[in-house]
Amino acid sequence: MSILPQYIWRIVVVSCLCCLSQNIISNDQLWFPRVREAKENKDALLRKLFNEKGVSYPPAQMFIRIFKGEKVLEVWAADASTNRYTHIKTYPICAMSGELGPKRKQGDEQVPEGFYNIGTLNPSSAYHLSMFVNYPNASDKQLSRHSSLGGDIYIHGDCKSIGCVAITNTQIEELYWLVAQVKTRSKVPVHIFPMRLSDMKYNILCRLYRNEPELLRFWSNVKEGYDYFQQNLSPPKVQIASNGFYQFN
């Protein structure tokens, strides 16, 4: 029997440890009754949905887009072998406070706009299940004139909102369980837009908000990220310049 070189053994050990770490994260979520219930209620449905879409389940990569004007949340996913994402499902948003425009201060009850990731998952949320959106990011901090920007922005259930994005309890069970599985392997980006920024709708925004050049400059910037995904069906790599504006790939 041949003896594997030491470096190969190291790769095998590291791979096993990574798998163990992922299982621990998943099992930690399943300690909570609501997450176990979400798995029981939604796992077979999600598996069937992904099979119909031709994407492995759970997917290697996942991406969320939120459109405030249309009040919808989109889920996209992709296998590890491809960078092109497939549209999986669209959820109607049943509650969302504030107006069009980014969140710039604490207490404005605005849903943020920009490019974020899902952070911690709360299986014991007051709103059934909730997923933290990592607002404020470096762009928000740079572009805001206020010292207190607020926080605690979540995607959650219960159809109530004070600056958050709410869907129904049965829908959040589905989305939460999906994110809980994907998040053990990769980040889950969340891109939040004022509306679908097609050229036509963006031109409408430009006319409606023609007296707010600062806001239009921001929307012009986030439209670059929107257009990138529309053209490539792959989320852009997002960086934040020293002036606070987003840069893409």
**DSSP string of 136-182, one letter each residue:** S-HHHHHH-S-S-----EEEESTT--SSSEE--HHHHHHHHHHHHHH
CA angle 189, 195, 196 (to 5 degrees): 80
Q: Which residues of 92-106 are buried (b: 16+ CB within 10 A; e: fewer)?
A: ebbbbebebbbbbeb
pLDDT of residue 118: 98
pLDDT at residue 28 in the model: 87
Which DSSP string do the residues of 9-71 spell out, in sequence order? HHHHHHHHHHHHHHHHHHHHHTTSHHHHHHHHHHHHHHHHHHHHHT--SS-SEEEEEEETTTT
Dist CA 222 CA 209 (whole Å):
16
pLDDT value at residue 22: 41
What's residue 20's pLDDT?
35
pLDDT in tens, 5-43: 554 444 333 343 334 334 445 568 999 999 999 999 999
**Residues in the chain with pLDDT < 50?**
1-4, 7-24
Q: What pLDDT does 26 receive? A: 58
| Per-residue confidence (pLDDT) for residue 1, from 0 to 100 | 44
Query: Which residues make Cβ contacts (< 8 Å) with residue 103, sequence separation at least 6?
Result: 110, 111, 112, 113, 135, 136, 140, 149, 150, 153, 163
Determine the pLDDT at residue 64.
98
Active-site annotation, residues: 156, 164
Verdict on whether the full-model pTM lies above 0.95: no
Backbone angles phi, psi at 177, to 5 degrees: -65, -35
